[in-house]
Amino acid sequence: MAAWLMKSEPDVFSIDDLKARPRKTDMWDGVRNYQARNWMRDTMARGNLVFFYHSNCAEPGIYGLATISSRRAYPDPTQFDPASHYYDPTSPPDDPRWVVVDVTYSRHLRRPLTLAELREHAAALDGLALLRTGNRLSVMPVSDEHAAYLLDLEAAAPPS
DNA sequence: GCCAACGTTGGC
DNA sequence: GCCAACGTTGGC
């Protein structure tokens, strides 16, 4: 089953916010990057594992797990909402440019996997887009191998 | 707040 | 189609 890493700024929307939503579910809106959009639109499916990453904060890292809970992607309503920060007047209503998926909270990690710690495992996580220089993708695939490694790392003792 | 990396835009 | 300018992301 495919796995993903999805970034969010915790000041805007954190894993705690997701947990607090009705049915612990929310639309993942506001993605405005074509590569991220393509993965959401073409590859994501219900049941996929999501590593929930906090970016742009004191301790960036993976904080929890979620799953994709919509059957597949569907049009992002915020692109048509002039009041929305994500409004995109150039998106054709009959051929929406941007999509969302529904994401449902699973659990917090027993301990955060910080970016700093992940970097210490760069060899095992070779190829993980998160660790590539200048990576700015907000939605990225995680291989089965890397997903298993990350879950093992969660179970391991934290670095001292 | 700084700045490097990168995606997008738009002139030509 | 090139590429410089610009805006954004995100770690630090």
Instruction: Give A37-90 pLDDT, tens digit per residue.
Output: 999 999 999 999 999 999 999 999 999 999 999 999 999 999 999 989 899 988
Of all helices (H) and strands (E), which one includes residue A34?
helix A34-42
Q: Indicate whether A160 pLDDT > 70.
A: no
Which chain B nucleotides are covered by protein, judged by CB under 7 A?
Answer: 4-8
Distance B1 C1' – A88 CA (angstroms)? 29
Name the residue with the least CA to C1' distance from nucleotide C9.
Answer: A136
Q: Please write the tens of the pLDDT for every residue from A78-121.
A: 999 998 989 998 899 899 999 999 999 999 999 999 999 999 99
CA gap A138, A13 in Å, rounded: 13
Confidence at residue A37, expressed as pLDDT on a 0 to 100 scale: 95
A135 Cβ within 7 A of any nucleic strand B atom: yes
The residue type found at A42 is: D
pLDDT of A35 > 80? The answer is yes
